[in-house]
Amino acid sequence: MNRLTRIVLVSMAWLLGFVWLFPLIYAIWAAIHPAEYATKFSLFAPLTMDNFKEAWNEAPFLRYMINTVAITLIILTGQLVLCTLAAYALARMEFFGRGLMFALVLMQLMVVPEILIVENYQTLAGLNLIDTYWGVALPYVASAFGIFLLRQTFKTVPQDLENAAKIEGCSVLAIIWKVYVPLAKPTYLAFSLVSISYHWNNFLWPLVVTNTEKSRPLTVGMSIFGAPESGVDWSIISAGTLISVGPLLILFILFQRQFVQSFMQAGIK
């Protein structure tokens, strides 16, 4: 590679990185300065932590945080269990209509979740689950993407490994748990990351299905700052946003290397 291409490539990377990072940089700027500096840049702007305090006091963040964590975990657990079982069946069991079943699962990938909001609301209302964790989680606990991803991974596990485990007396569930799951670890990591970040940030469905702070996640809770009747205070919104994305951001920075590696191994780019 000659010098010029290298310079162009590196500056493109920096540019792209900056575009990606800019909203976060702005949020940090706005959050640690008084409101009048939110849209004004000055090196000598006074630093303050008041925005965080105000945001924290204005909304029950702790409660929202607990809700978000609980909902994300319920969804993730449900997805991992259901997708594993479905993926194993689609990858290794022979039954009538398997191809059709898999095609239907794939078709689901093309359906935009928002289109189902009304239908889902009716179903969950029928189940009496409006404004509960389960209400937010249930429409997402089976993931077509997860099933597809795990099925592809399970297909690459040599049949002999399963045969060996069978001869050693393992049941189907034991085979899945002791052979398939450990071998698909990178895929599980990559999928979990995608799932957590999607559901941590999910907004529309929780907005529809939650009514009180009993089950309202951070994203919906945050929206009260942006409500037109209370006026838009960018500094406080930024502080609130930082509080809500903080845990995820710290997790990502800590596990960055593992995440990137597992994405490479799982073949998702």
Partner 1 sequence: MANFLKVENLCRFYDDVAAVQEISFEVGKGEFVALLGPSGCGKSTTLKMIAGLENPDSGTIEIEGQDVLGKAPGKRNLSMVFQSYALFPHLSVRENILFGLKARKVPKPERLKRLNSAVEMVGLGPHINKKPGQLSGGQSQRVALARSIVSNAPLCLMDEPLSNLDTKLRADMRTEIRSLQKQLGLTVIYVTHDQIEAMSMADKIILLNQGRIEQTAAPEEFYDKPLTTFVASFIGHPPMNLIPQKEFLLGVRPEHVQIVDVDTGSEISMVIQECDYQGSETIVTGEYMGTMIKVSMAGKCNIPSGESVNVRWEPGAVHRFKTEGGQRLEDNP
Rounded Cα–Cα distance for residues 1 and 12 (Å): 16
Structure tokens at 37: 């500096």
Rounded Cα–Cα distance for residues 121 and 208 (Å): 8
Of positions 46, 182, 228, 231, contacts partner 1 by CB under 8 A:
182
Q: Based on the shown chain and the rule CB under 8 A, indicate whether residue 163 belongs to the binding site for partner 1.
A: yes
Rounded Cα–Cα distance for residues 25 and 206 (Å): 27
User: How many CB atoms sit inside 10 A of residue 21's CB?
Assistant: 10
If the CB atoms of residues 63 and 166 are measured against partner 1, the closer one turns out to be 166
- Fill in the amino acid letter for 13: A
Q: Based on the shown chain and the rule CB under 8 A, indicate whether residue 165 belongs to the binding site for partner 1.
A: yes
In the complex, least distance from residue 217 CB atom to partner 1, rounded to whole angstroms: 35
Q: Which is nearest to 32 in space by CA: 52, 15, 12?
A: 52
Task: Return all residues near 10 (Cβ < 8 A) that are at least 6 apart.
Answer: none
User: How many CB atoms sit inside 10 A of residue 217's CB?
Assistant: 29
Q: Based on the shown chain and the rule CB under 8 A, indicate whether residue 119 belongs to the binding site for partner 1.
A: no
Q: Based on the shown chain and the rule CB under 8 A, indicate whether residue 167 belongs to the binding site for partner 1.
A: yes
In the complex, least distance from residue 163 CB atom to partner 1, rounded to whole angstroms: 5
Q: Based on the shown chain and the rule CB under 8 A, indicate whether residue 170 belongs to the binding site for partner 1.
A: yes
**How many residues of this chain interact with partner 1, rule: CB under 8 A?**
17
Q: Based on the shown chain and the rule CB under 8 A, indicate whether residue 194 belongs to the binding site for partner 1.
A: no
Number of residues that this document lists for the chain:
269
In the complex, least distance from residue 188 CB atom to partner 1, rounded to whole angstroms: 13
Q: Based on the shown chain and the rule CB under 8 A, indicate whether residue 169 belongs to the binding site for partner 1.
A: yes
Q: Based on the shown chain and the rule CB under 8 A, indicate whether residue 178 belongs to the binding site for partner 1.
A: yes
Rounded Cα–Cα distance for residues 263 and 29 (Å): 32
In the complex, least distance from residue 168 CB atom to partner 1, rounded to whole angstroms: 3
In the complex, least distance from residue 207 CB atom to partner 1, rounded to whole angstroms: 42
Q: Based on the shown chain and the rule CB under 8 A, indicate whether residue 260 belongs to the binding site for partner 1.
A: no
If the CB atoms of residues 201 and 265 are measured against partner 1, the closer one turns out to be 265
User: How many CB atoms sit inside 10 A of residue 245's CB?
Assistant: 19
Contact between 211 and 130 (Cβ < 8 Å): yes
Q: Based on the shown chain and the rule CB under 8 A, indicate whether residue 166 belongs to the binding site for partner 1.
A: yes
Q: Based on the shown chain and the rule CB under 8 A, indicate whether residue 91 belongs to the binding site for partner 1.
A: no
Of positions 174, 224, 250, 260, contacts partner 1 by CB under 8 A:
174
Half-sphere exposure of 110 (CA within 13 A, CB side): 4
- Fill in the amino acid letter for 2: N
Q: Based on the shown chain and the rule CB under 8 A, indicate whether residue 261 belongs to the binding site for partner 1.
A: no
Of positions 24, 161, 194, 251, contacts partner 1 by CB under 8 A:
161
Alpha-carbon torsion, ordered 71, 77, 80, 84, to 10 deg = -140
Residues in contact with partner 1 by CB under 8 A are: 158, 160-161, 163-170, 174, 178-179, 182-183, 185
